[in-house]
Structures are given as C-alpha cells and as structure tokens.
Amino acid sequence: MSSFSTSHLEKRVKALTMSQQSIQTLSLWCIHHRKSAKIIVKHWLKDLLKAKVKKKLALMYLANDVLQNSRKKGTEFNQEFRIVMLGAVNHCIHTADDKLANALKRMHGIWTERNVFEEDFLSTIQQAIGGGEKQDASTTPPLDQMPIDESEFMMTTTDELATATTVAPIHPPDHPPDPDELVLRLQELEHSATQDAVVREKIANLPTEVTDPTYIDKVEDLESARHLQEKINSACALLQEYNTRLSVEQVDREQTRKMLLDYTTMQRYQISQTENKIDEYLGKLEKVKAVRKELKLHLQNLPDLTKLPSPVPLPSAGDLFATRR
C-alpha cells in the first residue's frame, strides 16, 4: 500500500464515489495510515464543507466506515472524528436533502447500537439531526454561512480542560507531540484565517447594497438588479471561502490544543518522574549517611593502637605451645 501524503489523500478523496467499493477502498487506505488520522480528518472536514450534497453523503459514508472498522486497530480516528463530527453533522443537516438526512439518521442509529461514541455525545448528535429537540430554523442560519460555534465544535469546556490537566496520577500520553512539530503548528496559526487582515477588511467594507436587505426596494430596473446580483454573488463567494477557512482553523486550533495538552502532560509526567528519582536518591543518600555515621562510631570504639608498646612484643614459641597444668 502506498505511503501517506496529503497529495495522495486529496487525489483519493477527489475520486471518491457512492459505490461501496470506492468507499471501502479509501476507508482501508485511511485505516492503514491511522497514524496520520489528524491530517486525514482535517482534510475530510475541509472537503465536506465544500462538497455538493451527493459528495457530502459519500464523505459521511466514508467516515462511518472508517469509524466502525478502525476500532480494532486503535482509537485515533474515533478521537479525531469526535472533535469535528458535531460540526460536520450540523453543516450537513442544514444543507441536506431527504436522502442525506435519512442517511445521517441511519448512521446515528448504527453508532448508538455499536457504541461508536459515548452516549452523551450521541444524544447531542441526535438533537442536531432532529431526533431530539429541534432548533428554530428561522433563527438558525446554515453552518456554511457562519463560523462554527467554538463551544459546539470543540465539545470541551474550560473546566473539562482544567480537570484533564490536574488528574492524578499523571500518565504519559500515547503519542506525545514532537516539540518541533508543535512549534510549526503554532507558527502556522499565525497565518490563519482570523489573522488575515486583508480579507477581514474586505468583509468589513462590503457595500451597503449587499449588507442592507432594504436596498432591494431601491432596485428599479433589470440592469440594476443584475448588477446587484453580481455584487451579492461576489460577497457570498468571499464569505463562503472565509467561513470554510475559519472552520478549518477551528480544527487546526483544536488539534493544536490537544497537542499542547499532550505536551504539557508529558512535561508534567517527566517532572513527576524526575521528582520521584530525586526522592529515591535522597532516600539512598540518607541511608549512606546513616551507614557512615555507624561506621564512624564503630571506628571510635576500636582500641587506640597508638597506646600499644612499639614494637608490639610477640609471644614466644614456648608461650604458644606451653601446656597448662
């Protein structure tokens, strides 16, 4: 099987179809490269946000196949998909036709039956799909027209993060990040969507006729209507692209957060191990001091050799072999 690279991944996702063979082939390839699960899921979400409805369905089937068949190999994909799945489902349900909506309901049923995710998270997904309390559609804009809410997307509160970093005893993470890779991730975030001042300025300076719905009342002829439509289409394209970048940035920031958490956990584990070693050797030092003190006391109790006559008289042979009567 070929080695992993983002270009291979993009090529395979582009060729993905609704056929079972296509989905299973790509699923097996992803599972084989499960050590790159973070990158794979990141690109999966990026493609999902940009795809048409039919391709979205294929990508959701792909995620379903990977989630179910990767569990025996490890938890990499389960952990990564859990980060993005609620945002992905919300996006799909707001842009879905009946076929995609029904497929999402079936997937939720399978995930519940096979315990793919924990119960609380599955309940949240059920509400997003519509199996629980439905949101007011008139007040909830489509996900691809607004940045994904961070509290829903990350599914991790500040309290949970604090708890995660204070749990004792400390256990090292399975795959601690490389410091160089972590630094590179942090540097990449400096050039993320939220740091793109040029695009943000363009959005802030969109013309009034695009941002003010009442401007439509001022349109008096077909030519001005077409001109307005072109401006609206251009603004929508700008916002769509920027929101996609924001969604990808959310994933990047969550992955970086996890890397930072793993890195700090690893550092705390190493500090704990070092402190244990220090305590161990301090204990050994106290034992050595105690032995030295006992030896010194023993030496002090030995007879003073300097008080013996010099040279020391030795017994004669007669004295040694004399028979006592």
Residues 86 and 188 in one domain: no
Q: What per-residue confidence (pLDDT) applies to 152?
A: 34
Give me the chain's average pLDDT, please. Answer: 80
Looking at 116-130, 132-146, 162-176, 262-276, which range is the least confident one? 132-146
- Assigned domain for 214 exists: yes
Q: What is the CA radius of gyration of the chain?
A: 35
Residues 122 and 228 in one domain: no
Q: What per-residue confidence (pLDDT) applies to 42?
A: 92
Q: Which residue has 């294929």 as its token pair?
A: 58
Residues 23 and 123 in one domain: yes
For residues 79, 81, 86 and 91, what is the CA-based torsion angle, rounded to 10 degrees?
A: 160
- Assigned domain for 53 exists: yes
- Assigned domain for 141 exists: no
- Assigned domain for 321 exists: no
Q: Which residue has 């017994």 as its token pair?
A: 315
Residues 84 and 187 in one domain: no
Q: Could you read off the pLDDT of 249-280 as tens digits, one per residue?
A: 888 888 888 889 888 888 888 898 898 899 89
Q: What per-residue confidence (pLDDT) applies to 249?
A: 85
- Assigned domain for 305 exists: no
- Assigned domain for 101 exists: yes
Residue 293: which domain range?
179-299
Residue range 192-206: mean pLDDT, rounded = 87
Residue range 194-199: mean pLDDT, rounded = 86
Q: How many domains does the chain have?
A: 2
The SS3 of residue 167 is coil
- Assigned domain for 256 exists: yes
Q: What per-residue confidence (pLDDT) applies to 195?
A: 85
Any residues with CB less than 8 A from the CB of 144 and at least 6 apart, and which? 49, 91, 94, 95, 240, 243, 244
User: Taking the model in full, what pTM does it have?
Assistant: 0.44
Q: At 49, which CATH number?
A: 1.25.40.90
- pLDDT band, residue 175 (cuts 50/70/90): confident
